[in-house]
């Protein structure tokens, strides 16, 4: 006879462990509940819960399930304290057969909905010499005792589920931290935009007006001065005029009113012409059909283009730059490509510069991503993809 047959219990534990390992982390609570549910018939119980308690004996969270026709434990809020939890925290196992009123106060029975229970077990779970929490089983009928083997198995199940519970909660706290960082970065960018808008307005309303006036005055001076100083007066006039023009362009690029008035493509074209004009770079563009896009997206793409082109001017020694933007299959791609010397450094390792980092952050805030590549034979490419672009249509 084969004495080494795999028992039902072993098969059950192997199965639940596999599922906990294979499942997406976000689905772990569902697998914990289904593990508890599928163990109930084995243990002949009608209700099971897994409870997590913190160092200072307060309730931190729980999952509870019940067989059809029964109700799960009423969930109490985080931070809850009770004599019941104190007993688990003290490492005391409660293995009781008989009316629940014999072990708990009426108040506690009502609080978590334990009326009608005729046998109850709570087994503390220890992790690294500390009580992690406990696993509880309740019977509403057929209480034919709790065998030591059953108690041992319930404890094992509790330990397996507790490990996954921890994994899930650690993952959740990372997700939350990521969300906080994301919202911080969004907030910083919004502040930056507000300041740029204020500065742009100041340049436009104050300095530009004063320069315009100065241009007229310089022209008047040109009209009245002696012939011998006219070339200098003319030069002065032209210089002031040029500064006024540059300041207007700067004011526009600080806050692109054009984005709102003429749309993304016109604003991108104008900014690309302005920046490449600075170094007389050849500019090639391929702009596809882009429907009106939401303000946040347009502004971010505009800022990405600005930073990328400023990098081309600053670092690339390129003679030409190519910009393309298009939408295919509900996905927007923006590419800025130059024929310069490229960059041999590891672009993923920040050296304290924030241009590429902020390009990536902007793309990620829009649900997309940024890729930077620099082939061996030179050149540099910034490639932005934003999926589900239809959600960003005006
Ligand atoms: N178009 C480009 N051509 C060559 N190198 C580039 C280009 N764009 C970026 N880089 C490299 O990537 C680095 C990081 O860029 P960035 O984060 O914008 O910082 P910064 O412009 O302040 O140096 C640059 O210092 C440069 O070495
Ligand atoms: Mg830069």
Listing DSSP states for 135-187 in one string gives EEEEESS------HHHHHHHHHHHHHHHHHHHHHHHHHHHHHHHHHHHHHHHH
pLDDT on residue 319:
96
Please check whether residue 51 lies inside any domain of the structure: yes
Counting ligands in written order, the one closest to the CA of 357 is: 1
Does the C-beta of 378 come closer than 6 Å to ligand 1?
no
* Domain tally, the chain: 2
Please check whether residue 203 lies inside any domain of the structure: no
Q: Whose CA is nearest to atom 26 of ligand 1?
A: 315
Alpha-carbon span 54 to 247, nearest angstrom: 61
Same domain, 66 and 171: yes
Same domain, 18 and 149: yes
Alpha-carbon span 65 to 39, nearest angstrom: 11
What pTM was computed for the model? 0.67
Q: What's the gap in Å between 109 CA and the centre of ligand 1? A: 66
Residues with CB under 5 A from ligand 2 (ion): 311, 355
Site to probe by mutation for ligand 1, drawn from 275, 281, 311, 323 as the one with most ligand atoms within 8 Å of Cβ, is 311
Closest by CA position to 312, among listed 299, 325, 321? 321
Same domain, 79 and 173: yes
Orientation angle between helical segments 355-365 and 295-311, nearest 10 degrees:
160
Closest ligand 1 atom, residue 358 Cα: 17
Looking at 117, 151, 179, the residue that finishes a domain is 179
Site to probe by mutation for ligand 1, drawn from 312, 341, 343 as the one with most ligand atoms within 8 Å of Cβ, is 343
Looking at 162, 179, 196, the residue that finishes a domain is 179
Please check whether residue 356 lies inside any domain of the structure: yes
Q: Compute the C-alpha angle 158/162/164, nearest 5°.
A: 125
Same domain, 271 and 173: no
Range of the domain at 166: 8-179
Counting ligands in written order, the one closest to the CA of 342 is: 1
Please check whether residue 190 lies inside any domain of the structure: no
Looking at 154, 179, 204, the residue that finishes a domain is 179
Closest by CA position to 139, among listed 100, 107, 166? 100
Does the C-beta of 312 come closer than 6 Å to ligand 1?
yes
394 residues of the chain, pLDDT tens digit each: 456 777 888 889 999 999 998 999 999 999 999 999 999 999 999 999 999 988 777 778 889 999 999 999 887 777 777 778 888 888 899 999 998 888 888 888 888 888 999 999 999 998 888 899 999 999 998 777 899 999 999 999 999 999 999 999 999 999 999 999 989 988 998 999 899 989 988 888 899 889 999 999 999 999 999 999 999 999 999 999 999 998 988 888 888 888 888 899 999 999 999 899 888 899 999 999 999 999 989 999 999 999 999 999 999 999 999 999 999 999 999 999 999 999 988 776 656 678 998 999 999 999 999 999 999 889 999 999 999 999 999 8
Same domain, 174 and 322: no
> 60 near 78, Cβ under 8 Å?
yes
Same domain, 138 and 269: no
Same domain, 175 and 304: no
Q: What contacts 218, CB < 8 A, 6 or more positions away?
A: 233, 236, 237, 240
Please check whether residue 314 lies inside any domain of the structure: yes
Please check whether residue 188 lies inside any domain of the structure: no
Closest by CA position to 331, among listed 259, 384, 269? 384
Q: Whose CA is nearest to atom 5 of ligand 1?
A: 343
CATH number at residue 150: 3.30.450.40
End-to-end CA distance of the chain: 74
pLDDT on residue 88:
86
Please check whether residue 191 lies inside any domain of the structure: no
> 98 near 82, Cβ under 8 Å?
no
Same domain, 51 and 158: yes
Grouping H, G, I as helix, E, B as strand and the rest as coil, residue 44 is coil
């Amino acid at each position: 006879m084969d004495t080494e047959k795999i028992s039902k219990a072993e098969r059950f534990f192997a199965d639940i462990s596999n599922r906990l390992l294979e499942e997406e982390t976000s689905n772990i609570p569902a697998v914990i509940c289904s593990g508890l549910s599928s163990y109930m018939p084995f243990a002949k119980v009608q209700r099971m819960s897994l409870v997590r308690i913190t160092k200072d004996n307060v309730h931190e969270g729980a999952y509870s399930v019940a067989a059809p026709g029964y109700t799960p434990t009423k969930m109490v809020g985080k931070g809850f304290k009770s004599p019941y939890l104190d007993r688990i925290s003290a490492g005391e196992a409660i293995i009781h057969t008989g009316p629940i009123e014999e072990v708990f106060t009426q108040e506690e029975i009502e609080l978590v909905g334990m009326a009608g229970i005729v046998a109850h077990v709570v087994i503390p779970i220890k992790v690294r010499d500390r009580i992690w929490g406990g696993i509880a089983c309740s019977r509403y009928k057929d209480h034919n005792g709790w065998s030591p083997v059953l108690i041992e198995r319930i404890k094992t199940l509790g330990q397996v589920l507790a490990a996954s519970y921890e994994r899930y909660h650690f993952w959740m706290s990372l997700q939350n931290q990521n969300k906080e960082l994301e919202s911080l970065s969004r907030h910083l960018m919004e502040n930056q935009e507000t300041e740029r808008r204020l500065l742009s307005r100041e340049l436009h309303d104050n300095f530009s007006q004063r320069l315009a006036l100065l241009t007229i005055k310089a022209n008047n001076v040109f009209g009245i001065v002696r012939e011998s100083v006219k070339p200098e007066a003319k030069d002065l006039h032209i210089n002031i005029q040029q500064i006024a023009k540059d300041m207007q362009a700067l004011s526009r690029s600080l806050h692109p009113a054009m984005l709102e008035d003429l749309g993304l493509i016109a604003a991108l074209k104008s900014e690309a012409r302005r920046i490449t004009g600075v170094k007389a770079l050849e500019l090639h563009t391929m702009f596809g059909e882009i429907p009106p896009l939401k303000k946040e997206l347009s502004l971010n793409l505009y800022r990405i283009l600005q930073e990328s082109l400023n990098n081309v001017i600053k670092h690339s020694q390129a003679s030409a730059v190519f910009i393309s933007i298009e939408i295919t299959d509900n996905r927007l791609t923006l590419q800025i490509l130059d024929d310069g010397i490229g960059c041999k450094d590891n672009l993923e390792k920040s050296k304290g510069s924030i241009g590429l980092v902020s390009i990536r952050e902007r793309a990620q805030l829009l649900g997309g991503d940024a890729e930077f590549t620099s082939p061996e034979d030179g050149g540099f490419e910034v490639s932005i993809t934003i999926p589900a672009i239809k959600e960003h249509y005006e």
